[in-house]
Amino acid sequence: MSKDQVDKLLNQLDPTLKMIPIVWDWSKANFTQSHVDALQSSYKKRLLELHGWELQFEDRLLQLQNEALKRKEMERKELEDRKKMEEKKEQKKFAKEEKEKPEKREEKRNKNEKRDKPDKTEKVEKKEKKHEERMEDFREFKEQFEEKKEEVFVLAESDQEETKES
């Protein structure tokens, strides 16, 4: 690279760097205090920029953490409100049942028990019967299928023999 190209690159990177001479021959190097000061100021400027970015990052992180805490708090409040509403509904339902006559209450409980526990033995027996019938039908079908399959193989073999003979 030529000296002009190096100067051009240095100007693009940082204008303060152009004050520093490029040493082509170290025996003729001539650094002055102004060169050192320019380097120090450039370095300090970069440090300040990095510190600013760090502060911005920390601020954003704190902001996101606060938003997450607020969200969790809102969700917790919503859950509490839902629980309270459900408790109120249950209390109203219970109060309504208490007001009803004891006979009606007993009838309702009996109806609910019947509804919750239907007579399952008959249903289970019917299902088992149907299942057995279907399995029997399937076995018969499978036997017929095997017989047909054997017939087809025998016919195919005889056809092959006929084609070989002719």
* Per-residue model confidence as pLDDT tens digits over 33-49: 777 788 788 888 888 98
Q: According to the model, what pLDDT value does residue 60 have?
A: 95
Higher-scoring residue by pLDDT: 59, 13: 59
Contact 23, 29 (CB under 8 A): yes
Higher-scoring residue by pLDDT: 143, 29: 143
pLDDT at 17 over 60: no
pLDDT at 24 over 90: no
- In this structure, the number of other CB atoms found within 10 A of the CB of residue 142 comes to 10
Q: According to the model, what pLDDT value does residue 66 have?
A: 96
Highest mean pLDDT: which range of 11-20, 38-47, 126-135: 126-135
pLDDT at 133 over 90: yes
Average pLDDT across the chain, whole number:
82
Question: Has this prediction a pTM greater than 0.85?
Answer: no
Q: According to the model, what pLDDT value does residue 138 have?
A: 95
pLDDT at 70 over 80: yes
How far does CA 1 lie from the centroid of its chain?
54
Residues 49-69 have a mean pLDDT of 94
